[in-house]
Structure 1
Amino acid sequence: MLKLIPATDRYHASPTNWLSSYYLLSFADYNDPDNEHFGALRAFNDVTIQGKSGYPQQPRSEMEIVTLVLEGELQHDDTIGNRGSVSKGDAQRITAGTGLAHAEMNATDTPTHIFQIWLMPGQKGLAPSYERKDVKLFGTSNELIPVASGQKVLEDLLYVNSNSTIYWCNLDAEQTVRFKTFPIRNTFIYVLEGQIFVNGLDVGTSDQLRATNEHVLEIQATADARFVLLDLPATPANY
């Protein structure tokens, strides 16, 4: 079953002079009991942070938080001793586990655009940890590139404590990628830019597609497109 959610149905958090956030699932001041999670996906936020601003230190626990930097630069700082810059094309993973606090700031003069993805962990009580990688989001074209995964057989990417995989794709017009899935898995697609055609549905910029009980997704770009695809357990552990 496929469910298309158009860009106009996203929740736009009250914008400030330094922050614009679109929440695709219930988060912060957006409360929708029917949109609390999608399989193991707990939150997906499309965020633009203006220059010389950002999130001050905030406490987190029992969550895997993956941030993809689409434009600009982010300065990470946390209470377990990690500090550093995350630039366009990079990704970072925070295992909040038993608890930490972190700040994410844009120290530059230009806006920073990020996707922030929260996954429910496969188990609770993990030690907090942090990892950053240059995953070259905008390098390879016309294939699904794994960025973060709980599958240890996949190398040279961020490890998340969830039976989930986050893929990125830069798909040229008229090109097709095929994603095999299972009825016990959920698939989530969000389009950064462009237009794709998925199993009979047109999915445009900032649209999201949620797939359940599917076997194969045929994804064709009808215009040059960039999108993220999440492969998720339909029923996350411990929740």
Structure 2
Amino acid sequence: MKITRIVAPVRAQAVEAIRDEIIRGNLLPGQRLVERELCEQLDVSRNTIREACRQLEAEGFIEIPPHKGPVVSTISDRDARDLYEFREALECLAVRLFVERATQDAINDLHDSCTTLFAAHDSLDVAAMIDAKNHFYEIIYAGTENKVVGAQAKLLNGRLAGLRAQSLSQPGRPARSKNEIKDVLLAIEARDAAAAADLWRQHIGNAARTALNDPQTTPDSL
């Protein structure tokens, strides 16, 4: 993780750097965040790290138990189901808006991004898959011309980072995911918003079922 001291305040850059590590799956659910290590990695003060952690706690990315250091948030079965339900609604809206509003150049960019995305799926490298999928998402969200959708979706995917990694780690899931995204891409290129949104709904449902069947999912305590 590295940050610069221009463009945005240092605290905001620290928040972005830590959040990005969680989204990419480099910091896993339940993992403790050590202030000293973060200070050294980001070259910032302890106060900056503490302020960044408070913001990330408010966003749901980390938890700060009383008298203990911050840890990456874990997700119960109940929370995961709620998040996937919201993800389905939000991302299907994003796909529909993209089909309706995106320029042809944006659709071409999405097509090109899938070359990297599919290669990552073939490699079975989970980190590469998540990076490539995040780039795919960035193009979708930009093409919606709706800043609220993009901002909410980014936060949501961060909360689901651990489960996304678990899902893509399951045998056979990368190949199935690749084929599902291919079908969505064809519908997008045909400018069929209804079909693209429906196919994306199926994609999210399949990802959710795979992730929630994983034995590492935190049991629901309710």
Higher helix fraction (1 or 2): 2
TM-score (normalizing by structure 1)? 0.27
Higher strand fraction (1 or 2): 1
Considering only CA atoms, is the larger Rg found in Structure 1 or Structure 2?
A: 2
Flag the structure with more relative contact order, 1 or 2, with Cα contacts below 8 A and sequence separation at least 6.
Answer: 2
